[in-house]
Amino acid sequence: MYTRRGRVLQVAVMSFNYRVIINILGILLVLNGIFMITCLPFSIYFGGEDAGGILTAGGITSFCGTILWLLTRRNQNKELKKRDGYLVVAGGWLIMSFFGSLPYLFTGEISNLTDAFFETLSGFSTTGATILTDIESVDKGILFWRSLTQWIGGMGIIVLTVAILPILGIGGMQLFVAEAPGISPDKLQPRIKETAKRLWLIYLGLTGLETILLWAGGMTFYDAINHGLTTMATGGFSTKNNSVEYFSSPFIQYVIILFMFLAGTNFTMTYFGLHGNFKKVIRNEEFRFYLGFSVVISIIVGLVIYSLDHDSFEKSMRDALFQVVSIITTTGYVTHDYTKWTSFITILFFIMMFFGASAGSTAGGVKIVRHIILIRNSVLELKRQIHPSAVIPVRFNGKAVSRDITFNILAFIMIYISIFASGSIVMGMLGSDFMTAIGSVATCLGNIGPGIGTVGPVDNFAHLPMAGKWFLSFLMLLGRLELFTVLILFTPYFWRKI
């Protein structure tokens, strides 16, 4: 405590429930270690040399997690307060990523911590940016761990939106399973745990279904399960250097397009659709915009490709649809180098990196619901200029959106754009050219994967300087956790007793 101008202020010493925080992080590490061990069957089956490294990494991770859990399991006060939640969310992603780097380091597939952490956080954040230059030479167990990190991250973001963000007051139950403030929700079940369980089952079921379809379509089971994991997570890690282009199969591409689109759809809408409540899905404004935007942009891009490449009309439309859905859902799979489809398409795709798919999905980015509310508020502001005394609320799905929520969205988008601009300057200072600087920042902040410049769809991030990789890693975490969850940790009032 100290006194200033007659007022007593309490600072620095927080009433955080550190025992609960550490206990949760310990549980996360144990689970992380168990997931690592599940990669061993692939190492053994394919006769790779990575089994020992994976087993060691999994053992160390589980052991450390167990120690943390044992030291804090007898805590009497198990209440998780709002500020504790921020530390759990940010700390959880960081500690999972640091320990998740161990399989790469212990097997020697990645030789330094910077690259290993970048690859791991890119996985857990479902970004899909990679430093690996020859993916097909990587041992199968490690390659499966690489895909599994994205699937774990996709599951994690679902839990985050239904169980943690409501505690933190970041959207949460206001939109229900939506990572943006907005509209009053329709709860699937009275209890959050039951809801999370149902959404996880959908996530698991769709992953399994896609794996079966890809396997039936000509992929090996190994390739199919890897692409099933990374599609539903909207992560985009592939087992091939040329990504999905390697398979040259229209059936495989259409299957992945469908599941990318489903992964970018609000999981509550998927739930209603699976239960035959299609009216609720069609009436959802965000879903209608998401579907319509994807179709219209795909047609425009397809017509441009058809006029240039003289491929069949079907192939042109398929390539366009695949890349548009891949970008807007922030999955990042590639079938073509879209930066060679004219400057118009490159600019269009770059702009799409700031969209994102539906809130409450595994996709990253700003999210469509925020854009809808921003546009509607901007249009209504013109009416308010003419009728300053009129009360004209922004409406979404037929319900009025409060001014507080609108201001929250305006703040989010303003901060997002500011981080993009300042981040691009930082990357430029670190030696990147203009296109690479803006492309790397946009794709990492939006959790997309491929960008433009020298980090485009046929390139990778290996050539970037060490400082640039750590900075982009921070942006991946920032974008995945909805900005505020991380930024608030850097404010003095977060650590001050109230």
Tens digit of pLDDT at every position of the chain (498 positions): 444 444 444 444 457 778 888 888 998 899 999 999 999 999 999 998 999 999 999 999 999 999 998 998 876 566 667 787 788 888 989 999 999 999 999 999 999 999 999 999 999 999 999 999 999 999 999 999 999 999 999 887 766 655 555 544 443 333 333 322 222 334 444 456 666 777 788 899 999 999 999 999 999 999 999 999 999 999 999 999 999 999 989 999 999 999 999 999 988 888 889 888 898 899 999 999 999 999 999 999 999 999 987 678 999 999 999 999 999 999 999 998 999 999 999 999 999 999 989 888 889 889 998 999 999 988 888 887 887 777 788 888 888 888 888 888 899 999 999 999 999 999 999 999 999 999 999 999 999 999 999 999 989 999 999 999 999 999 999 999 888 889 989 988 888 765
**Residue 365 DSSP code:** S
Q: From CA 34, how far away is CA 62, in angstroms rounded? A: 7
SS3 category, 206: helix
13 and 65 Cβ atoms separated by less than 8 Å: no
Q: What global pTM score does this model have?
A: 0.89
60 and 7 Cβ atoms separated by less than 8 Å: no
**Residue 189 DSSP code:** S
359 and 265 Cβ atoms separated by less than 8 Å: no
Q: From CA 298, how far away is CA 316, in angstroms rounded? A: 10
- Please give the structure tokens belonging to residue 101: 């780097």
* Angle at the Cα of 447 from the Cα atoms of 80 and 99, rounded to 5 degrees: 55
**Residue 172 DSSP code:** B
Residue type for 320, please?
A
* Angle at the Cα of 231 from the Cα atoms of 226 and 233, rounded to 5 degrees: 100
Polymer length of the chain: 498
* Angle at the Cα of 122 from the Cα atoms of 118 and 125, rounded to 5 degrees: 135
